[in-house]
Every structure is written in structure tokens, then in C-alpha cells.
Amino acid sequence: MAAQAAPELAKLDLNKNTGSVEANTVSAGGSEKEDVENEGDSDEDRDDEQAGGSTEVNGEIVEYLNENSYRTTNEEKRHLDRMNNDFLTEYRQAAEIHRQVRQYAQKELIKPGATLTDIAEGIEDGVRHLTGHMGLEEGDSLVAGMGFPTGLNINHCAAHYSPNAGNKVVLQHGDVMKVDFGVHINGRIVDSAFTVAFDPVFDPLLTAVKEATNTGIKASGIDVRMSDIGAAIQETMESYELELNGTSYPIKAIRNLNGHTIGQYEIHGGVNGKSVPIVKGGDQTKMEEGETYAIETFGSTGKGYVRDDMETSHYAKVPNAPSVPLRLSSAKNLYSLINKNFGTLPFCRRYLDRLGQEKYLLGLNNLVSSGLVDAYPPLCDVKGSYTAQFEHTILLRPNVKEVISRGDDY
């Protein structure tokens, strides 16, 4: 797969997109020479961001508002931010790779007539190429690479669909496809998603969800209650409607999908993870300083509620799972392989194929039934409906909020 994609990967030019990167690969924990100008930042802000003499491609820097506005200029908070920002280099490297690969995918891969398999493998090979970790040697994927399998969710399917081996689905001109993938450096996961539609009739749906995500980002901050964020997102989302074949469809926030905290090597933030609702409710949980969030919203012309459907592709090892005796040798061997190659990072079945695994489904299902691995089936609204998604990763730093995955595209 990687060899076939190599000629296409040569089209990736790291100097033509968001930021300017001189090196084609990065190593986990290493530094990357970059040249970027942050419009709107003061010289003092840039000095803070580039402490130590290195320059990095920052995300969008957003000042805190209202009662937290003091944080932006408070010297103690600025000092705390400088003292605790070593991990930012890894996040920013992952974010820059995400930007480069998704822009490459939009220009070169995502076209009517392309197979979902080619699109997914092109994105994933792009990520591996730019991280410099192809993931074929034991443990290599844990250093850097895919932080979340490429989801290519078409029309009524909202999340967690990735082509398994043998998938022949072809992208059509009339499809609405959500593209959701993650990149990690040393377990620092940047999770970001966008929606593609070739027919402009779907523009109101995409606009509604993109604006709802931006509303959620704007509303997020230290000490903000989740209920307030959800209410703001829903108000923005549901102010739009889509006219299709002479019928107007209200765009509904998908009420049982949420944003979430992100932990190191844990896409959903671990046992103390928090959810960010996209509808109004009574959750009084607050965001806290130092947390990382995936702010993602989903809109639908259907019921605004998703259920498990279709064949599962996404899996992840359960963090801190209790010791369970496994009777099947295939399950034992597979669990060992998952531990050594993915840890708690999500993976899909194609990643097991890529490592040379065969006839592993019995063992994989045994791991799921034993509570050692979670299965994440595709999540779909009613057939005939259309769904859209936009997502960004944000960091709640002591003195500013950084939208780490922001790019020129969304």
C-alpha cells in the first residue's frame, strides 16, 4: 500500500500550505524548523510562543473573555504557560501534519469516482510519511503516526466508518462525506474533521455545522459549564435549514454525539474524561485549565439521533482493563500485538491487515466480549438523511486558548 502511494505522496509540498516547514519528516519529541508569521499577535506574544529561540507553527491563539480576560495579561499565568509548554511542540507538529495531509487529500484524493479505500490509505500513508514512522516495526506507531483511523462517513452515516479489506465503495458526486482522522506525536493527539460535498445544494448543511463548531470553540474556556457550550452550539446549528428537491429540512444537532477531552494516547480522555454536548442540557461540569478538547459538532437532516449500524472497523484497547484469562490463543496473540503496536490508540482492521495478521476476527471479537477491547461501530441516522461534521482540537492554556488544528481551510 505504501509503495503504491509513494508517487502521490511526492505531491505533498510542505511549503505551500499553512505555515512553512523546511523538513519533510519529524521525529517524536524532536524540534522542527518552521517559519510562520502570526497575524494579530504582539511581539511579546510571539516571544512567549517562541521561548527558547525556536519557532513553531501555532494554532489560532484566542484570548479568554469576560471574567477570564485577566489571564491574557496576567504575568503569573504567562509565566506558568511558558514553564509548562514542552508538550506544545508535539501538538503543533501533529497539527501541522494534519493540515498538510488534509489539504493534500482535498486536492488530490477526494474526488467523485475515487474508492474509499484509496482515500483512506492515501491519508494514512501521508501521515506516516510526514511523521517519518511507517508503523510496520513493532512499537513504531506508538512513537508517531495515526492518532485515530480515517473515518469516511457518507450521507446518513455520521461517524466511525472506515473501509475494511475488500471494500469497493466509490465516492459519488451527490454524496456528503465526513473526513475524520487523528495525528499523534508521542501520544499528543490532534483530532480534526471536515465535510466534503460536491453539490452546492448541501452548502447550508456544511455552513450550519462549521458555524456551530466555531460557536462551540468560542464558547469554550476555563470554568465554562458544558451545558452553556451545548446550548450555544444548538442555537447556531438549528438556525439553518436545507432545501432539497423542493422540500425544506431543518438541520438538527445530533443529540447523542459529543465533543470530548483528549488525553495522552487516549482519544476520549481516559477514565476522567469529559464530554462536550452539542445540545442544551443540565450538565454543570466545567472545563478546567490545562485540558485538551476535541470540539466537534454534527448536524443532520434526519432525526438528529444516531444508532449503531453496518460493519465495525474501529477498535481501541480499554485503558487499565482488569486482567482477564483468555482461552483462545488467537486472542492472546492479538492482544499482545495490539499492546505493542497501538497501546490505547484507536486502530482499525486495515491496520491489522497491514501488520500481516490473518483470520483474526474470532480473536478480536473475543477481546471485545472479554472487555479488553472496545468496538466502535459506525453511527448512523435514518437512511435517506444527510449528516455533516466539523471538528477542531483546542488547548486550554493558562493564559490563552489555542485552536491547535485551525487552518486556512476551516
d(CA 165, CA 90): 32
Domain containing 239 equals: 89-310+378-403
323 beta partners: none
* pLDDT at residue 23, as a whole number: 30
Q: What Rg do the C-alpha atoms of the chain give, in angstroms?
A: 21
Give the distance, in angstroms, between the CA of residue 271 and the centroid of all CA atoms in the same chain: 19
Answer whether residue 307 shows pLDDT above 50. yes
391 beta partners: 193, 296
Answer whether residue 314 shows pLDDT above 90. yes
| DSSP per-residue string spanning 59-82 | -EEE---GGGTHHHH-HHHHHHHH
d(CA 120, CA 150): 6
Same domain, yes or no: 224 and 359: no
**pTM for the full predicted model:** 0.86
Contact 335, 318 (CB under 8 A): no
Mean pLDDT over 382-405 rounds to 97
Residue 383 is classified by DSSP as T
* pLDDT at residue 85, as a whole number: 74
Answer whether residue 55 shows pLDDT above 60. no
Same domain, yes or no: 320 and 356: yes
Same domain, yes or no: 252 and 355: no
Q: Is pLDDT larger for residue 178 or for residue 22?
A: 178
d(CA 219, CA 228): 8
User: Has residue 211 been placed in a domain?
Assistant: yes
* pLDDT at residue 12, as a whole number: 58
Answer whether residue 218 shows pLDDT above 90. yes
Side chain identity at residue 148, one-letter code: F
d(CA 21, CA 32): 8
User: Has residue 332 been placed in a domain?
Assistant: yes
User: Has residue 185 been placed in a domain?
Assistant: yes
**Parallel, antiparallel, or unpaired: how do β-strands 259-261 and 292-300 relate?**
antiparallel
Could you tell me the pLDDT band of residue 63, with boundaries at 50, 70 and 90? Answer: confident
Same domain, yes or no: 274 and 371: no
Q: What are the start-end ranges of the E strands in 78-163?
A: 144-154, 157-159
Could you tell me the pLDDT band of residue 84, with boundaries at 50, 70 and 90? Answer: low
Mean pLDDT over 217-243 rounds to 98
The answer on whether 228 is annotated among ligand-binding residues is: no
The answer on whether 260 is annotated among ligand-binding residues is: yes
Same domain, yes or no: 260 and 292: yes
Q: Which of 316, 278, 307 is nearest to 378 (CA)?
A: 307
Q: Which of 190, 213, 17 is nearest to 106 (CA)?
A: 17
Q: Which of 324, 297, 337, 315 is nearest to 139 (CA)?
A: 337
The answer on whether 34 is annotated among ligand-binding residues is: no
* pLDDT at residue 57, as a whole number: 84
* pLDDT at residue 76, as a whole number: 66
The answer on whether 156 is annotated among ligand-binding residues is: no
Residue 197 is classified by DSSP as E
Same domain, yes or no: 299 and 385: yes
Same domain, yes or no: 283 and 364: no
Answer whether residue 46 shows pLDDT above 60. no
Same domain, yes or no: 197 and 101: yes
Domain of residue 288, CATH code: 3.90.230.10
d(CA 116, CA 291): 34
396 beta partners: 401
* pLDDT at residue 28, as a whole number: 33
Q: Which of 139, 142, 185, 147 is nearest to 25 (CA)?
A: 185
Residue 201 is classified by DSSP as G
Mean pLDDT over 293-301 rounds to 99
Answer whether residue 208 shows pLDDT above 70. yes
Residues ≥6 apart with Cβ < 8 Å to 368: 315, 374, 375
How many domains are there within the chain? 2
Catalytic residues: 180, 191, 260, 268, 296, 391
Contact 202, 245 (CB under 8 A): no
The answer on whether 44 is annotated among ligand-binding residues is: no
The answer on whether 63 is annotated among ligand-binding residues is: no
Q: What are the start-end ranges of the E strands in 271-365?
A: 275-276, 292-300, 307-308, 314-317, 347-348
Answer whether residue 30 shows pLDDT above 80. no
225 beta partners: 286
User: Has residue 44 been placed in a domain?
Assistant: no
Contact 287, 220 (CB under 8 A): yes
Same domain, yes or no: 306 and 323: no
- What are 315's three cell numbers? 477498535
User: Has residue 256 been placed in a domain?
Assistant: yes
Same domain, yes or no: 244 and 351: no
Same domain, yes or no: 319 and 338: yes
Same domain, yes or no: 212 and 175: yes
Could you tell me the pLDDT band of residue 65, with boundaries at 50, 70 and 90? Answer: confident
Answer whether residue 403 shows pLDDT above 90. yes
* pLDDT at residue 21, as a whole number: 29
Residue 50 is classified by DSSP as T
Domain of residue 358, CATH code: 1.10.10.10
For the chain, what is the mean pLDDT? 88
The answer on whether 296 is annotated among ligand-binding residues is: yes
Mean pLDDT over 215-239 rounds to 98
Q: Is pLDDT larger for residue 68 or for residue 326?
A: 326
Contact 213, 296 (CB under 8 A): yes
Residues ≥6 apart with Cβ < 8 Å to 58: 36, 38, 49, 92, 402
User: Has residue 23 been placed in a domain?
Assistant: no
d(CA 173, CA 21): 34
- What are 151's three cell numbers? 473515518
User: Has residue 76 been placed in a domain?
Assistant: no
User: Has residue 24 been placed in a domain?
Assistant: no
pLDDT digits (tens, 9 = 90+) for 88-137: 999 999 999 999 999 999 999 999 999 999 999 999 999 999 999 999 99
d(CA 268, CA 284): 19
Helices 86-104 and 116-131, axial angle in degrees (round to 10): 140
Residue 358 is classified by DSSP as -
Give the distance, in angstroms, between the CA of residue 69 and the centroid of all CA atoms in the same chain: 28
* pLDDT at residue 19, as a whole number: 34
